[in-house]
Amino acid sequence: MYNDEIMVNLSVNIGKLKLRNPVLVASGTFGCAEEFEDLIDLSKLGAIVTKTVTLAPKPGNPMPRTIETPYGMLNSIGLANQGIDDFIKHKITFLNKLKTAIIVSIAGEFQQELTRLTNILDQQSCVSGIELNISCPNIRGKTRLIAQDPKATYKAVKIVRKHTKKTLITKLSPNVTEITQIARAAQEAGSDALSLINTIYGMSVDLSKRKPHLAYGFGGLSGPAIKPIALYMVYQVAKQVELPVIGIGGIMNSKDALEFILAGATAIATGTVNYVNPKASIEIIKGIRKYLIKHKIKDIRNLRGALRA
């Protein structure tokens, strides 16, 4: 009986990061990992992407913020968080103990916000990379996302790139006409990688009250329902840019993850499934390994982009 740990190589490179495997947990679905400490072995993950942090505290959108839908869920959290000072004071100590890559998700509307956030995180040795979230679809008062404008995307990425040498990942929105145009803008501005997709605009109506279920009115749809859209966008972007792509959207098991890798993703991130099955990410890692062994593929990189289309 052979040791499957030796037989296949699951390691992947995302910018300057070398990850032990291609399975990450997506921002906004895993907190800052402490919530999952007693449920899974965090050291087995390829990387942890924290909940998005902003410069100042944000209360988020009014309740109710989430509603289950057939094949997924809608959320309108609105980037609720305690701000970067609280993050440094209360979250970094725990993250510093973990033996896996830590990628901190950040968001900001103005140059000074992104500059300050980046400068602070650049000084934290446990932070391996920064994910620039320019694509949250439910921020109160915003009529247009940064990720819906190539020029705004270029400017935001350029600001963060200027203030850090850490791996920079830009998170893209599916709520656009042509996502490859936005992807190229992020690449030109200096992003090391791209993650896609964020959630898709959606709403749900309460017939008895004749009003939306979500207090905000609409939110972002995630879960299995968006997987075909995410898969298509990852496939398109991976062909158009030279950056590693992290596939996100409706990934529930190793079969889903492998589809994204075949479509061109270097890595994948689990999201909504973390609420349904906290152990899903670990199960996906095992499932990918079993698939490689079964098909006598020694290196995960040989599977990337191998879709016969």
Give residue 137's pLDDT: 81
Residues of the chain above pLDDT 70, percent: 96
| Residue 50: closest CA among 115, 119, 126, 113 | 126
Give residue 2's pLDDT: 43
Is residue 224 very low, low, confident or very high in pLDDT (cuts 50, 70, 90)? very high
Q: Is residue 252 part of a domain?
A: yes
Q: Is residue 212 part of a domain?
A: no
pLDDT in tens, 67-80: 999 999 999 999 99
Q: Which domain holds residue 169?
A: 4-62+81-203+224-302
Give residue 72's pLDDT: 94
The set of catalytic residues is 136
Total-model pTM? 0.96
Do residues 181 and 150 lie in contact, with contact meaning Cβ atoms separated by under 8 Å?
A: yes
Give residue 144's pLDDT: 83
3-class SS at 201? Answer: strand
Q: Is residue 215 part of a domain?
A: no
| H-assigned helices in the chain | 4-7, 84-90, 92-97, 111-122, 150-162, 179-189, 227-240, 254-262, 273-276, 280-294
What's the mean pLDDT when you consider all of the chain?
A: 95
Give residue 141's pLDDT: 53
Give residue 109's pLDDT: 87
Q: Is residue 72 part of a domain?
A: no
Please tell me the total count of domains within the chain: 1
Would you say residue 281 has pLDDT above 60? yes
CATH number at residue 186: 3.20.20.70
Q: Is residue 265 part of a domain?
A: yes
Flag the least confident range among 133-147, 165-179, 218-232: 133-147
Q: Is residue 217 part of a domain?
A: no
Do residues 107 and 130 lie in contact, with contact meaning Cβ atoms separated by under 8 Å?
A: no
**CB environment 184-205: b (16+ within 10 A), e (fewer):** bbbbebebbbbbbbbbbebbee
Average pLDDT over residues 212-221: 96
Distance between CA 261 and CA 181 in Å, rounded?
22
Would you say residue 59 has pLDDT above 80? yes
Give residue 139's pLDDT: 66
Q: Is residue 24 part of a domain?
A: yes
Q: Is residue 126 part of a domain?
A: yes
Q: Taking the CA atoms of 204, 224, 130 and 236 in sequence, report the sign of the dihedral they define.
A: negative
Would you say residue 158 has pLDDT above 90? yes
pLDDT in tens, 33-50: 999 999 999 999 999 999
Give residue 1's pLDDT: 38
More confident residue, 109 or 284: 284
